[in-house]
Amino acid sequence: MHRIFHTGVVLLFFLTTELSAQKVNGEIFIPINNRSEIWLKPRIDTLVNKTEYEFKIRVSPEYTISQFLFENGLAIQTDSVLKIIPNCTNYGGYDTATLRVIVTSVSGSRIILFQRRFIVQVPPRMYPVHGNPRTNIMMMNDKILLERNRPYSKDLFERTEPVISLYNNDVDMKKYDVKNVTVIFYEREGKQYISNSDTINPDAVKELKKVKNPIPIFIKVEAMSGRTKKVIWNKVVVYNE
């Protein structure tokens, strides 16, 4: 049987990270080392972030393990094997993570909370992180990013039916299901070309290939994100290279 325990439930118990035995809210906190009720091997004290560690865990016959609580990480128990994976955010430094084990007597008359604190070595990030990713990313043929108000050569529309793709943001790049693409020529009395697919209407492509002077166009995309409909507008300038 597998048990998976996440960090969030730790707060419900108002636990402390001190390793000396103490009493909080009527519960007893005891270090996990050198106890007859429970033992955990190997006795290592330093972990590397996001690395899986495997321990042998055992409790005396009069007790049973009710739950694991692991700060800044994940704890998974399979029979007598406990796996923990620290997930700290102090990149390029050190952090701490405390494993707490709730042990209940078979009779149900006593609850003991054992704990062991680990030092976690956290390597620096290996890639840049976007703090504010751009959303509703529109791309042409899944190669060219269509940025608002930017100029693009009419040669971009050389295909008979160029494909328009839409993504949620430039970090996750979750692709939406495009249902409709409309091209509107702003300076031609709002003339518009509608395609009931993810391609640009062939008649719009013919008009774009005739462009001699820079002309602004609007591209409207209707797409589905699950059951949610999204309507995204973009404006670019098409010019004759």
156 and 84, same domain (yes or no):
no
Looking at residue 71, its pLDDT comes to 85
Residue 111 has a pLDDT of 86
Angstrom distance (rounded) from CA 176 to CA 146: 16
* Residue 180: both structure tokens together: 């409709």
Supply the pLDDT for residue 189.
67
What is the model's pLDDT at position 56? 92
CA atoms within 13 A on the CB side of 96: 8
pLDDT given for residue 39 in this prediction = 87
Residue that has been written with the tokens 């702003």 in this structure = 186
- Over the stretch 72-107, which tens digit does the pLDDT of each residue have? 888 888 888 999 999 998 888 999 999 999 889 888
List the structure tokens of 155.
Answer: 């040669």
Going by C-alpha positions, the residue among 95, 65, 99 that lies closest to residue 84 is 99
User: Domain tally for the chain?
Assistant: 2
**How many residues in total does the chain contain?**
241
Domain annotation covers residue 129: no
Asked whether residue 50 falls in the same domain as residue 16, the answer is: yes
Pair of tokens at residue 200: 């640009």
Residue 8 has pLDDT above 50, yes or no: no
For 191-219, the pLDDT digits (tens) are 889 999 999 999 999 999 999 899 999 99
- In this structure, the answer to whether residues 106 and 169 fall within a common structural domain is no
Cβ distance 104 to 111 under 8 Å?
yes
If asked whether residues 20 and 114 sit together in one domain, one would say: yes
* pLDDT tens digit sequence for 217-229: 999 999 999 889 9
Please count the other Cβ atoms lying within 10 Å of the Cβ belonging to residue 183: 24
Do residue 24 and residue 107 come from a single domain? yes
pLDDT bracket for residue 28 (50, 70, 90): low
Indicate if 90 and 167 belong to the same structural domain. no
Asked if residue 79 and residue 148 are part of one domain, the reply reads no
d(CA 98, CA 46): 11
Contacts of 66 (CB under 8 A, 6+ apart): 102, 103, 104, 111
Assign residue 231 the CATH number of its domain.
2.60.40
Q: How confident is the model at residue 11 (pLDDT cuts 50, 70, 90)?
A: very low
Q: What is the pLDDT of residues 169-191, one digit of tens each?
A: 988 889 999 999 999 987 776 68
Residue 61 belongs to what domain range? 2-122
pLDDT of residue 182: 96
